[in-house]
Amino acid sequence: MGPLLTRAVSRQRDLRVHLLLWDYTVLYALDREPLPRVKLDWATPDRIQVGLDDCLPLGASHHQKIVVIDDALAFVGGIDLTGKRWDTPAHRPDDPDRLDPAGEAFPPVHDVQMMLDGEAAAALGALVRERWHRVAGKKVPPLEAAGDPWPEEVTPDFEAVFLGIARTLPEWKDRSGVREVEALFLKAIGLAERSIYIENQYLTSETVARALCERLSAVPELEVVIVGPRRSAGWLEAKSMGAGRAAFLKTLEAEGFGERVRVLFPVVKDKGRETPVYVHAKVMVVDDRLLRIGSANLNNRSMGLDSECDLAIEAKDEEQRKAIAAIRDGLMAEHLGVDVRKVEAELAEQGSLLRVVDGLTSEDRRLRPIRDEADFDDNFSHALREIADRERPVRPEDFIGDMFGGRRRPRWRGYAALVIGLAMLLILVVSAWLFGG
């Protein structure tokens, strides 16, 4: 990113770049690039400014993935601007271009981003300016777009359409909490009539699980297809989010909806060997009426703790409904390794998403069922889940009370207990991370 942005500002004398990064906790130090301010802020021209967002409560993260150019073009979705994210829809197991910054190959990864222009891009510009002002204390004025930088080689899926912007922001000092992401999930699920198609990295939200059960009970024809990763990346995430996914699936199965729900992961084949594709996308399509793409996972954190931003399009006419269906069908065709026209034909004949994902396959691509509930049904996984996947910030008194059954003590003892407790937790988690597999 540093050399790319340096070249950009060297060519455009009036260009200014603002990078808002998460000021991540030390628990993630082993999985993040160290000293981003040194590498980007101090080592690049003055017109590139870096802000580290720490305007979040304990345990929260800045999880929005937004790029805004001249208030005229914007990108929102699941993709982080970091290593180990590049891929193509082919997800070839041996793609020579899929290398991390050290030149090492990494497995296939699936993600989705939405590009937009017009008033919606300007609205996202206002969102990121407000966040920058809160972190840096400086106001960046809005821009009057001089033109539309939409790339000519990209054909838009929608034109002259309204977009909804849904956010999550935790309560912080003088700022009230925002839970638009959760409200949109619940509203969309509550209106589903025939099908819900989901791609998501995590699947742990108890609120969403209950909403799906309620709608499946109310609408006997409703089907749900969920595509996620085989396992979460990293031992810590696999344990904590795996326990949450196991509980999510148990909730659906306990209500008797297992036959109407598929939870799947994509694989690619090469020389007889299957390689899982890591799903990092956050997509939801309800019938052919609602398309949603953004940063929010279907976990508890995204409902109330982390900062999130999702975009949604609600079809207002038949043309828009066809465009939404085409995106859903295209994603399924990609995972199944078949032409999108084959998916469309099967859907028209069968009238069922489940029959399509159950019946269609190819020589080198397919969707496999996720069945790993038993792998994470242990006390340690459940304990990690309680810490790593919360809806609300951790209060120090709650943390100490939960860890040690503590009673209120004199203030100095409370501080000492907090420091000791956090140190013990840090040692435990980092040791497990390093030596647990």
Q: Are 226 and 428 in contact (CB under 8 A)?
A: no
Copy the structure tokens of residue 357: 């994902």
Q: In sequence order, what DSSP letters do the residues of 279-328 get, joined into one string? A: E---EEEETTTEEEEES--BSHHHHHTSBEEEEEEE--SHHHHHHHHHHH
Copy the structure tokens of residue 192: 């589903």
> For position 29, what pLDDT does the model report?
44
Residue 70, class by beta-carbon neighbours within 10 Å (0-12 exposed, 13-18 middle, 19+ buried)?
middle
> For position 37, what pLDDT does the model report?
56
> For position 79, what pLDDT does the model report?
95
pLDDT band at residue 393, thresholds of 50, 70 and 90? confident
Low-confidence winner among 70-74, 207-211, 239-243, 303-307 (lowest mean pLDDT): 239-243
Give CA–CA dist 248/59, Å, rounded.
Answer: 22
Question: Given a cut of 80, is residue 28 above it in pLDDT?
Answer: no
> For position 408, what pLDDT does the model report?
47
> For position 6, what pLDDT does the model report?
92
Question: Given a cut of 80, is residue 406 above it in pLDDT?
Answer: no
Residue 45, class by beta-carbon neighbours within 10 Å (0-12 exposed, 13-18 middle, 19+ buried)?
middle
In CATH terms, the superfamily for domain 164-375 is Endonuclease Chain A (3.30.870.10)
> For position 27, what pLDDT does the model report?
46
The dihedral sign for the CA sequence 119, 121, 127, 131: negative
Residue 177, class by beta-carbon neighbours within 10 Å (0-12 exposed, 13-18 middle, 19+ buried)?
middle
Tens digits of residue pLDDT in 210-230:
999 999 999 999 999 999 999
> For position 30, what pLDDT does the model report?
46
Average pLDDT for 156-174: 95
> Locate tokens 């290593």: which residue?
83
> For position 392, what pLDDT does the model report?
85
Average pLDDT for 225-238: 86
Average pLDDT for 375-401: 73
> For position 44, what pLDDT does the model report?
76
Copy the structure tokens of residue 65: 């993935």
Tens digits of residue pLDDT in 99-133:
998 999 999 999 999 999 999 999 999 999 999 99
**Angle, CA 67 vertex, CA 65 and CA 71 arms, to 5°:** 140
Tens digits of residue pLDDT in 88-101:
999 999 999 999 98
Which H or E run contains 199? strand 195-199
pLDDT band at residue 412, thresholds of 50, 70 and 90? very low
Which ranges of 172-285 would DSSP assign to H, the alpha helix?
A: 180-191, 206-218, 235-254
Which ranges of 142-234 would DSSP assign to H, the alpha helix?
A: 180-191, 206-218
pTM of the model: 0.88
* E-strand stretches of 39-143: 48-53, 66-69, 73-77, 109-110, 113-117
> For position 299, what pLDDT does the model report?
96
Copy the structure tokens of residue 64: 């929005």
Q: Which residue has the higher pLDDT, 398 or 326?
A: 326
Give CA–CA dist 78/68, Å, rounded.
Answer: 15
Question: Given a cut of 90, is residue 292 above it in pLDDT?
Answer: yes
Question: Given a cut of 50, is residue 404 above it in pLDDT?
Answer: no
> Locate tokens 């499946």: which residue?
216
| Crossing angle for the helix pair 379-388 and 235-254, to the nearest 10 degrees | 100
> For position 115, what pLDDT does the model report?
98
At residue 111, the 3 state secondary structure works out as coil
Low-confidence winner among 204-218, 272-286, 406-420 (lowest mean pLDDT): 406-420
DSSP 167: E
> Locate tokens 């990494």: which residue?
106
Low-confidence winner among 148-162, 240-254, 404-418 (lowest mean pLDDT): 404-418
* Residue partners of 116: CB distance under 8 A and separation at least 6: 73, 74, 75, 76, 124, 163, 311
> For position 69, what pLDDT does the model report?
95
Closest CA to 186 of 171, 206, 200: 206
Copy the structure tokens of residue 169: 């922001």
At residue 112, the 3 state secondary structure works out as coil
Q: Are 433 and 234 in contact (CB under 8 A)?
A: yes
Supply φ then ψ for residue 404, to 5 degrees: -125, 5
> For position 397, what pLDDT does the model report?
55
Task: Report percent pLDDT > 70 for the chain.
Answer: 85
Question: Given a cut of 90, is residue 378 above it in pLDDT?
Answer: no
Tens digits of residue pLDDT in 320-331:
999 999 999 999
Q: Which residue has the higher pLDDT, 36 or 130?
A: 130
Q: Are 275 and 236 in contact (CB under 8 A)?
A: no
Average pLDDT, the chain: 87
Average pLDDT for 326-338: 98
